[in-house]
Structure 1
Amino acid sequence: MKDMNEGYVQNLAPQFFMPELPLMQSFGGCPQQVQERIEAASPILWVDPSSAANRLRSAIEALMDHEGIPRRWSTNGKKYDINLHKRIERFKKEKKDFAKVADLLLAVKWIGNVGSHGSVIRIHDVLDAIEILDRVIQQLYDTSAAMTEKKAEDIIARKGMPASHITELPPPPF
């Protein structure tokens, strides 16, 4: 490295973090199996982004399990596996209110597929998948907005009085 006055600057790139950096700040009411798989991607992200992407794909499998989308079906006594893509399509069909969530899940699945099949995947790609998966979890399991709205309704009903000072709320005047 030359002196900075000569025009050279040393750039450092992290290769490992101990303890690992969390990939998400909040999981809301996210199922434990999904959360564990996402957290399993964190310690390996910087050393093996493809494996981290694969773990995110596994998180989607766990999410589909939690949402009741089967992994197998049977007909005439034969059992057939349902691939993740078909499971996400079924989720989209059965849970029409979450059609956009299904599209987000497909994006993460594709990144996970690339990581699973030995192709080179960049850390940036995995971080994109995390950002998308974070949005999925917010839409499916985060109840903080509803809880905040409920708190506001309670405060309005109490007319700002602390809840500990009110034994019974009077009926509304209308």
Structure 2
Amino acid sequence: MENMAEGYKQLLTPLFFMPELPLIQDFGACPKRVCERVEAASTVLWVDPSSAANRLRSAVEALMDYEGIPRRGFSRGKSYEISLHNRIERFKVAKPEFSEAAELVLAVKWTGNAGSHGSEIRAHDVLDAIEILDRTIQHIYDTSAMGIKKKAEDIIARKGMPASRITQLPVPPF
């Protein structure tokens, strides 16, 4: 609301949305448990941003689970828990094609840690982490770029001729 005659501007901040606003529009082939945790973050984002940040950290844990990065290690006859940070580092080594994605989720992990340990997290901080997580999910699971590349290769192979005009070789009967 603006009242320029009196020289002030009032800004409104939402406290709650029902139903919650989706934080990521299209998960594509995103693992179900990751999606569930992101949706859980959306339910509390405006009421408790720190809790939402923690739920995003949990989404990163679920992502590492899905990618087969173990939660537990074994050394000297004893089992131990592997930190999320170390799991992300192991992901980077195990799947070098996703090293950029691993770097991105470190930021989400740090935001989640801050939310978990009492730091002042704002909704804006969580939205930044969501944007990073969304890009990570796209990088790992979105195959549309490969589909577009395949279409371009097909068009180049046909030299632009419409696919419907290409006559196929007759298939001999069996």
Q: Name the TM-score class by shorter chain.
A: 0.7 to 0.9
Q: Distance in 1 between matches of 2:111 and 2:3?
A: 41
Q: Which runs of 5+ in 2 are unaligned?
A: none
The two structures, once aligned, show a CA RMSD in angstroms of: 2.3
Give the structure 2 partner of residue 41 of structure 1: 41
Q: Distance in 2 between matches of 1:97 and 1:14?
A: 40
In the TM superposition, what is the alpha-carbon distance from 1:118 to its structure 2 partner? Answer: 2.0
Count of residues paired in the alignment? 169
In the TM superposition, what is the alpha-carbon distance from 1:161 to its structure 2 partner? Answer: 3.0
Correspondence 1:57-96 to 2 at 5 A: 57-96=57-96
Letter in 2 for 1:5: A
SS in structure 2 of the partner of residue 14 of structure 1: coil
In the TM superposition, what is the alpha-carbon distance from 1:17 to its structure 2 partner? Answer: 1.2
Q: Which shifted more, 3-12 or 142-151?
A: 3-12
In the TM superposition, what is the alpha-carbon distance from 1:97 to its structure 2 partner? Answer: 2.1
The 1:2/1:84 distance shift into structure 2, 3 A limit, reads closer
Calculate the TM-score normalised by the size of structure 1.
0.86
In the TM superposition, what is the alpha-carbon distance from 1:111 to its structure 2 partner? Answer: 0.3
Q: Distance in 1 between matches of 2:169 and 2:146?
A: 22
Q: Distance in 2 between matches of 1:114 and 1:96?
A: 27
Deviations along 1:69-126, one digit per CA (max 9) or x if unpaired, are 0000123442111010110111112222222221111111000000111222011111
Q: Which shifted more, 138-147 or 21-30?
A: 21-30
Q: Which runs of 5+ in 1 are unaligned?
A: none
